Amino acid sequence: MTLAKNMQVLQTPTFKKAVKKLHANQKKDLDKAIKSLMKEPLLGELKKGDLSFLRVHKFKMAKQLTLLGYSYQEDKVILELIALASHENFYRGCSEFCVSLVV
């Protein structure tokens, strides 16, 4: 499934803030991960429960396991980048994001 040509990629403010703090070599690794998601949007694991709207793609960024949380709407061909963090901090941030959606 190659949809990269007409796919719309959106970023949440939380994701933008996380990207802003990255070094150049980390941004290159992130760009590779995003391009792979654009080629194969269902690559990430679909979460369950409160985070059922979220898919998580695991990849190495500067030799550290990093999780990229995103949602994918096939009918609109939109890839929304939601969260980026190491495993230790990822789910805490995602659950905070989930609470902010409900309020």
pLDDT in tens, 12-64: 888 898 899 999 999 999 999 999 999 999 999 998 888 888 899 999 998 99
Neighbours of 80 (CB within 10 A): 18
CA distances from 45 to 13, 41, 82 (A): 23, 10, 14
pTM above 0.85, yes or no: no
Report the distance separating Cα 83 and Cα 11, nearest Å.
Answer: 9
